[in-house]
Amino acid sequence: MILENNPTKAKHRLSLLLFILLGIIVFLIASPFFFFFGILGQFSLTFLNIFYFVLRSAISIYISLSGISFDLLDLEELNKLKGQKVVLMANHRSHLDMFIFLANVFSLRAAANSYIFRVPVLGLIMRLSKHFEMEKGDVEKLEKAKLEISSAIKYKHRVLFFPEMTRCPLNFQGIQKFRLIPFQLARDEGVKIVPIVLYGTDKVWPRGTSAMFTENKLKVKALKPIDTSEFRTSMELSKYTKRVMEESLMELQK
């Protein structure tokens, strides 16, 4: 996705700069509410839900103002499971993925790499949002995350995993290898998995580029829930989930 036309390249770099500046403005306006309800939310579920409402509203406005357009397909699958214990499994294509989820899914809590929690300001928001800190090879953090995920599922929060654990490379067509941990956790908790397929976020904000292509449209599709109790092993569950997601991604690419 390298552009040779210099004026066009400058336009897309400016689009990313404007996206970042807009994000800073929205954050500065909303931050008093983030921190007030976020801190109280550490002690009260009611205030935590208000925090999630404020966060979702702010990011929805942010995405709308940024000029990014997307289609939400079959998200009624999530509505059908309202009040039930579920986890979401999504492919990971861009930094934009998380913004799309936060703007459209209430009380979302995601498993994320430790380095994100060390980023100034963002790390604090991640902690106030009660996202789950995980790091490859760190058994202590993994066990802590397992307990937190179990508690989140109990309160029927929407737990999100990106089983690939990293964004796909530039121009990558399929879905990368899945890690087993999310599927082991889902089976241990006896919850349903809702696979969600993202297409085009990497065409809007590609990995490894300093540009944003807001003219490209993206799609988000929720697939039918998967009953984890129907699978004998986590590997079997992982392979099946990846297969149905790849099939859906191929359809969205047409």
Residues 82-102 as b or e (16 or more Cβ within 10 Å = b): eeebbbbbbbbbbebbbbbbb
pLDDT of residue 230: 95
pLDDT of residue 74: 86
Rounded to an integer, the average pLDDT of 51-66 is 94
* Domain positions in the chain: 69-253
What pLDDT digit, counting tens, does each position of 34-50 carry? 999 999 999 999 999 99
Rounded to an integer, the average pLDDT of 110-116 is 86
First to last CA, the chain: 19
pLDDT above 70 covers a percentage of the chain that reads: 98
Q: In 3-state terms, what secondary structure has residue 243?
A: helix
Q: Which fold has domain 69-253?
A: Glycerol-3-phosphate (1)-acyltransferase (3.40.1130)
pLDDT of residue 174: 93
Q: In 3-state terms, what secondary structure has residue 45?
A: helix
Give the range with max mean pLDDT: 69-83, 128-142, 220-234. 220-234
Rounded to an integer, the average pLDDT of 180-201 is 94
- The better pLDDT of the pair 227, 173 is held by 227
pLDDT of residue 154: 87
Whose tokens are 């099946």? That residue is 240
> Does 1 have pLDDT greater than 70?
no
Helices 6-40, 45-66: crossing angle, 10 deg rounding: 170
Please state, in angstroms and rounded to a whole number, the distance separating the CA atoms of residues 188 and 12: 45
> Does 4 have pLDDT greater than 60?
no
> Does 181 have pLDDT greater than 70?
yes
> Does 3 have pLDDT greater than 60?
no
What pLDDT digit, counting tens, does each position of 63-111 carry? 999 999 999 998 777 878 888 889 999 999 999 999 999 999 988 999 9
Whose tokens are 């989820």? That residue is 101
DSSP tag of 220 = E
pLDDT of residue 5: 63
What's the mean per-residue pLDDT of the chain?
90
Rounded to an integer, the average pLDDT of 117-133 is 85
